[in-house]
Structure 1
């Protein structure tokens, strides 16, 4: 946000500088060089003496008056040849000098003018030029005055722009904080501005959008939670009825059919449990954080896998120490990743964990398998609810496409990330990155 206004002020300052330069170019093209005009005004006294006192003298008194001016003037007056004067001047100024014009040399604080064009002042005067130098010309002061003028104009423009920008900056900062809070899960966050504020219409639209999103998500959570709970009752009745049928059935084919129905019902019951778990995760605002030993917790997670699951190789860093978070929720995420890897692994699943000490302090947990892997185009979609790869839709692998979505939500609630890539074992590699909360002392640092 600050970068936006810094760039705006830089643009304004650049525009003022360019405008100043263009004004100077335009005035010079239309009316002549303003600096030369200033220098001519500063040298006007000496020019007046030459033009109105010396030039008005009779021919036999011209040199006498020139000498009198030389005695009383602070400037230096001398006669030079026309060739020497033209060598000291640019070509255009030399041509003007030949026409009898007064040529001002402001950088050298001097001016040149021919005595006369026809030699009427004295013999040979048509070849002489009056060179007056050491004039009281101070262009530095004039430039400072011009610069001060433009600085005052710039300040006069920047002050109202700064005041106008300040109100917008504070408003946008407030909107940014609301957006951060809303993105962090505080769906009740709203922007509050007075109706007279310049960004009030934008804030109202953002509040309306936030209200709609909050309402839709709340409706979705309520519907999911209600439907899931309502399904529990008919599922329980069906389970009870199937048990009664199982006990009364005498036909083996009927018993197999009842067993298949019971399996479908168990699958439906598991789906309802997953949906309730999703609804609970969506409603979580703050975690019940508590410090726990990460290494033993991960080992317990592996020990809790089903007996028929592929062998899991453990590679845990000795310096994992304590981690502050919701142990049940975090271990459920790891368990979902291990079970998912177990479905597709041919022989081996690997679980590793490392802690990178420094700024920031990060724990990295990796779950790998030697299965077929996940195509790169599907690596983000596997975290979407109910999304399953074609291989996972048969009854051998099972699942509903919710395990990875629940795992990512649990990791995000801890402020971490969950991504998938290619494993060195040949299959998929799920990488969990978790920031460690400052203030929790681990044994490796003690």
Structure 2
């Protein structure tokens, strides 16, 4: 957003300025073309008038070839005339621009800007040449240059004024859009009480109003879901406690083995339901964007000791080989509960699906931390790698708790990663199994 080359403000401002500049240039070109044509027409009219005035001298036989004629006083400062013994069709030059031709007259302009006319007379190969004087042309060009400079200065001043007047409304438009974007971003980060200001020009205020309506609806939905989520565990745990109490009484009063075994099964089922409730509560807390943790709750954690202790605690029975390659200099600041939920669920998943071994690797590169948990199990197909993070989604379709659990572990792990400020993805491990990588900007 801060890049000048990509901001809406810059593009819009430059587009308007370019449109004004192009329009001005086109106007100047058209005006200059029109003025030039008008000058040519005036030149031809002057030549026609001078020719008529000179015809009286020519008809009286007062002139001969190669003789300079006297132009009328009105034109004598600007034009000169003479008769030459050359056909008028031969009076052009290689570098001359032909301004026009009539039956007995041709009009030319030299490279120096001098215009002249060659008019055929009645005598054989006799031509009247009427030429603009160079000093007059230079004076006119000087006056014209001064006028053009003044005109260009005026146009430039107008462009500066227009550009300045355009700057502020376009800049304000950019500021309003930026404020809306920041509002949307902060709302997405969990500040659900935030609302966009609708005291901005149309049609941006309509966007703000629509966003505020959407935010109100979402906030209401979140509040209802929060109340529901808090009520459900309480309502479920109350009858579970009664069932557990009844099961305990049955085991104490009964001597039959089958009855005691059945009561033990009931206790196991109750424990499963409690685990489910606890995981659901953990996931809801992690996905509650309104829940924030201050810096006071963060701790500086030595990653190598932390990961090793969590792995050893989860692999107490040593059923699988577990090893660690963690840089012992890495420390991160995080809320410990989130880091525990992240690592425990990744390690539990790896231990559940591995064939023989689980590896944990942690490195820091270019200011970014990478922690990966790898196993040598069957791995996860590319098409299913995002599905594993969906709550209750199970790729093996079985409900065998020994391998699959409840389908909430990886959802909790990703939510924990987001709470810490990082991300979690899944790839193929070096042994062909699954590789879950947590990345975090330090």
Q: TM-score range by the shorter chain?
A: 0.7 to 0.9
TM-fit CA distance, 1:205: 1.1
Q: 1:56 aligns with which of 39, 48, 53?
A: 53
Conserved in 1, the CA contact under 8 Å of 2:391 and 2:411?
A: yes
Q: 1:165 to 1:196 in 2, by over 3 A?
A: closer
1:202 — aligned with what?
A: 207
**1:143-167 CA deviation, whole Å, 9 max, x = no partner?**
5556556546655654554343233
1:251 — aligned with what?
A: 256
1:353 — aligned with what?
A: 362
Q: 2:239 aligns with which of 210, 234, 240?
A: 234
In structure 2, runs of 5+ residues without a counterpart are none
Q: 1:117 aligns with which of 117, 120, 123?
A: 120
Conserved in 2, the CA contact under 8 Å of 1:352 and 1:367?
A: yes
TM-fit CA distance, 1:226: 2.0
Higher relative contact order (CA 8 A, sep 6+): 1
2:301 — aligned with what?
A: 292
Q: 1:422 to 1:35 in 2, by over 3 A?
A: farther
Matches within 5 A, 1:136-285: 136=138, 137=141, 144=149, 147-148=152-153, 151=156, 154=159, 158-194=163-199, 199-281=204-286, 282=288, 283-285=290-292
Conserved in 2, the CA contact under 8 Å of 1:54 and 1:66?
A: no
TM-fit CA distance, 1:142: 6.0
Q: 2:346 aligns with which of 337, 360, 369?
A: 337
Conserved in 1, the CA contact under 8 Å of 2:80 and 2:130?
A: no
Q: Distance in 2 between matches of 1:306 and 1:318?
A: 21
Q: 1:61 to 1:117 in 2, by over 3 A?
A: closer
Q: Please say which of residues 222-231 and 424-433 is displaced more in the overlay.
A: 222-231
Q: Distance in 2 between matches of 1:252 and 1:179?
A: 63
TM-fit CA distance, 1:278: 1.8
Q: 1:66 to 1:47 in 2, by over 3 A?
A: farther
Q: Distance in 2 between matches of 1:258 and 1:78?
A: 135
1:378 — aligned with what?
A: 384
TM-fit CA distance, 1:314: 0.5
Q: 1:117 to 1:16 in 2, by over 3 A?
A: same
Taking structure 1 as the reference length, the TM-score comes to 0.81
**1:54-101 CA deviation, whole Å, 9 max, x = no partner?**
7513122694445899x98588988886425153335xx376266525
TM-fit CA distance, 1:228: 1.6
Taking structure 2 as the reference length, the TM-score comes to 0.82
Conserved in 1, the CA contact under 8 Å of 2:50 and 2:71?
A: no
Q: 1:38 to 1:421 in 2, by over 3 A?
A: farther
1:218 partner SS: helix
2:420 — aligned with what?
A: 414
Q: 1:174 to 1:209 in 2, by over 3 A?
A: same
Q: How many residues align?
A: 417
Two-structure CA RMSD over aligned residues (Å): 3.5
